[in-house]
Amino acid sequence: MGGRHLAQGAGGDGGADVGAAGGAETPFPRRADLRAERGRRRSARRAPRRRPGPPRPGGAAVVVAALVVAVLGLSVLVGPRLLGALPDAREAAPLAGSTGGTGSTADGAGATAAGGASEAGAPSAVRAVQALLDERASALLARDRTGWMAAVGGDGGVADGARTALDAYRQRSAEVYERLAPVPLGSWSWEVTGSGPALADARAEQLPQGSWVARTTLVWAVAGAGDDPVRRQQDLTVVPAGAGWAVVDDRDGETVPDLWDLGDVDVVTTERAVVLGTADREALERTAEVTTPAAEGVDAVWGTSWPRRTVVEVPADQAQMAALLGRDDDAGLGQIAAVTTGELVGGQGATRGDHVVVNPRGFGQLAPVGQRVVLTHELTHVATRSGAVRAVPLWFSEGFADWVGYQGTGLSRQVVATDLLRQVRADGPPADLPTTADFDPERSRDIGPAYSGAWLAVDSLARRYGDDAVVELYRSASRDALPGAPAPATSATSAGQDGRDGQDDADAALDAALARLGTDRAGVVALWRAELVELAR
């Protein structure tokens, strides 16, 4: 997830008040430096951390949720389910077309369909369903409700037991059409890639013979925001209808929802972002106010060669956030203030279509400075990924995003590193830099020290070699070709075919960039540990 996004507020050893603002006593995001007094005392619990994570590193390839999280801060690397291209957010292999049942396939080779027909996934059926969905997409963009609803199947041939599900899908389709009205869509389409899971026998008996589940990728973009579209997997149940097909459900396979599937959507547009949300208008406006200064903070460090506007999504609650990330529950998300999600486009962790998802609970508890740090962190992920051909090691990705996020806040190094310095004073400095597990809110009860440690590692490099050198180090590690290595994979389906591991490439690329800087990983660790000892005094 890269996101960090989310994150942390921090209390602290003094320094500016960047934490939460008013309200009932509840945990907040991130580290001590971003937290604020709530009444007379602070909550004993920590709330979301503002960064991205593995997914979190986050995760992504279209599927996210599995959250590979690249960075806890998580930048969610969306994986298979989000994009419909990978089997697991932690892998870069092509999705299997069938999840069992009666031999459905993803390559359009003509599998056995429900009821014994042989239409599922057959090239002719795929083309016909594609034509149906093309017409439906055109109707949406033209705001033609009749054309949009025409793709939904009628009651004919559907057994009584299936009519409740059909009525529910018909209602959802009508609601989605209305909820999309305020969204400034730039594009919307489906790509039918083959067949999804076979229908269960009982379900197949309720539908007309020849019905099957079409595996599709929904591709949408907001006008004027980002360079690449968002891609989501949708498994659509289709039934014969006259000479063609009709859609009767989207719940017989795996479908990752978007905001408009979860509730009414409102939109706030700023110079640097399009903020979409099911949260209340006030929450959207508060988030929107931070987007321009956050983006300008990224420009000041990284430059302006990245999307001028970013899509920022604000769900109504943490459960909706989990759904948007393709997760079954919200475990660990209480430590996340926001995440950056995107589609994995190769085996080396590069992403496209990145946008930010805010945790309304954690983000809302942060003071204005904390919110700016969080969004600057997330937008740094968007900027750095926009031209990357590979991911960088998680500690460097999260540390760099935090380093940019804290620029200009006036917070001392002791305050920013508070979470980790407490541990150092008690147990001494860690032997090594934070690992991927340290950033994962599902595996670590407190991801604050990992973010603090990653930030300090990057800050220490900047103090030793200069800010420009650190920016160039990141560009080189994420973009330069590795000596003797093949060109980076350009799609999820080509990932891993050369036998190379994305993490190995990330480490090797950073090692090569560090060598050009005149140091190595051991040198970074030594510098970092010395800084920790000094600051902990």
Can you name the residues that pair with 131 across neighbouring β-strands? Answer: none
Residue span of the structural domain in which 169 resides: 100-252
Where would I find the H helices in 68-111? 80-83
Tell me the CATH number at 506: 1.10.390
Residues 212, 290, single domain; the answer is no
141 and 188 fall within a common domain: yes
Cα separation, 71 vs 397, whole angstroms: 7
Domains contained in the chain, number: 2
Q: What is the 3-state secondary structure (H, E, C) of 270-293?
A: CCCEEEEECCCHHHHHHHHHHHHH
pLDDT in tens, 285-338: 999 999 999 999 999 999 999 999 999 999 999 999 999 998 989 988 988 999
Is 152 in the same domain as 286? no
| Average pLDDT of the residues of the chain | 79
Look at residue 500 and tell me if it is in a domain.
yes
Is residue 353 in a domain?
Answer: yes
Q: With 70 as the cut, is the pLDDT of residue 440 above it?
A: yes
pTM score above 0.75: yes
Residue 10 domain flag? no
**Residues 212 and 343 grouped into a single domain:** no
Same domain, 372 and 313: yes
Query: 445 or 93: whose pLDDT is higher?
Result: 445
Inside any domain, residue 68: no
Whether 19 is in a domain gets the answer no
Q: What is the DSSP letter of 49?
A: B
Structure confidence by residue, pLDDT tens digits, 84-121? 332 222 222 222 233 333 333 333 333 333 333 446 77
Residue that wins the pLDDT comparison between 441 and 189:
189
Residues in the chain, overall count: 537
Same domain, 310 and 428: yes
Q: Which two tokens stand for residue 488?
A: 């980076």
Would residue 9 count as lying in a domain? no
Is residue 415 domain-shared with residue 458, that is, in the same domain?
A: yes
169 phi and psi, to 5 degrees?
Answer: -65, -40
DSSP reduced 3-state for 105 = coil
Q: Assess whether 401 and 485 both reside in one domain.
A: yes
Q: In what order do the strands lie in the sheet with 75-78?
A: 75-78, 338-344, 351-358, 310-314, 273-277, 266-269
Range with the poorest average pLDDT among 33-42, 139-148, 229-238, 523-532:
33-42
Other CB atoms within 10 Å distance of the CB of residue 45: 12
CATH of residue 174's domain is: 3.10.450.50
Residues 248 and 372 in one domain: no
Residues 296 and 440 placed together within one structural domain of the fold: yes
The string of DSSP codes covering 369-419 is HHHHHHHHHHHHHHHHHTT-SS---HHHHHHHHHHHHTTTS---HHHHTHH
Residue 248 sits in the same domain as residue 283: no
Q: Are 269 and 182 in contact (CB under 8 A)?
A: no
* Chosen domain end from 237, 252, 267: 252
Q: What count of other Cβ atoms lies within 10 Å of the Cβ of residue 382?
A: 27
Is the same domain home to 315 and 432? yes
pLDDT > 60? residue 23: no
Instruction: For residue 201, tell me if it sits in a domain.
Output: yes
Q: Tell me whether residue 36 is in a domain.
A: no
